[in-house]
Amino acid sequence: MAKPLLPFASVSGPDPDFTVDHEGWRSLEAIYPNRAFSAPAKERLTAIGRAYLADRRTELLWQSYRDVDELLPAYGKAATALWTIAYENPRNSDASSVLEAILDNALASEPLRINPARGDLLLLTAKSDGWTDFGQLFQIPEGAFGVRFGLSLLREIAMNFRVALNRAEKEVQRQATESATTQRQTATERLILVLVDWAKTFNFQHAPYIDGTEPAPFSRFVLTFLNLAPTSFRERRDLTDASLAAQIRRVKKVDKEKKREQEQAQIAEAYAPLASKEQK
């Protein structure tokens, strides 16, 4: 099954098109001798190919929670540095007093630019019900304006950043754990099941093996179909008839077990009220 992935993907631009030329159709039809593909069968295969490429493209852009976890160390270093500056540097020396005076003067000329129109100012007070837009409570100037950024604010930011980062680390671990327990099919596994349905619909052989050992024509059909995809979207691992036959058998078995579990759950749910009445 696929590795644990993020629940979203950033995709830009149109999905790639899937086209099969004359030689491509010949290579697919050669797998089933004396059985030409009908127009509806070809049309359906083309649609399946387009859906696979869109699925495969999203899969290639998807990232795992391992990638999220790799971003945390940089944030941790920033939080540690801010904390050291705000709370751990010695403050009882002439040097530290001079540095803070110079830094305060420098910060005074580098204001924070606040833009209320984009929601920069939200207030949380004892009288407000949750976060309230500053403009609902006070009159604010139009456009952006600047506020001073002093060392006292830096200490507040250091505290909030450290607390927020601790919470973020725990949340990343929680979501990664939940994602790891959720099985997801890969684009190729989903394609296999769709091609099985196609073969059943148009009365083509769809078993992975002949006599349980030799890869069947359907395994070569799936391999040929995968190789019709543009090079950048093909599987990065080396595939053979034998490896695909094993994968097809495994995917079909898992899908069958999943459907059986769903049917059993539906039956249990349908008879649940009756069982409750019998217990009373």
25-84 per-position pLDDT tens digit: 999 999 998 888 999 999 999 999 999 998 888 888 888 888 888 999 999 999 999 999
Higher pLDDT, residue 13 or 86: 86
Higher pLDDT, residue 247 or 144: 247
Confidence label for 1 from pLDDT (cuts 50, 70 and 90): very low
pLDDT at 220: 95
- Give the C-alpha separation, 40 to 221, whole Å: 18
pLDDT at 41: 96
Residue 72 and residue 164 in contact, taking contact as beta carbons nearer than 8 Å: no
pLDDT at 182: 63
> Mean per-residue pLDDT for 8-35?
84
Alpha-helix runs per DSSP H in the chain: 22-29, 39-61, 65-83, 94-108, 134-137, 151-180, 187-201, 217-227, 241-279
The pair of structure tokens assigned to 70 is 């790799």
Higher pLDDT, residue 193 or 92: 193
| pLDDT of residue 141 exceeding 90 | no
Least confident of 170-174, 241-245, 252-256, 259-263: 259-263
Higher pLDDT, residue 160 or 105: 160
| pLDDT of residue 279 exceeding 70 | no
As a whole-number percent, the residues of the chain with pLDDT over 70 amount to: 91
What is the phi-psi region of residue 143: left when phi exceeds 0, alpha when psi lies from -120 to 50, beta otherwise? left
Report pTM: 0.64
Task: Give first-to-last CA distance, the chain, whole Å.
Answer: 44
pLDDT at 104: 84
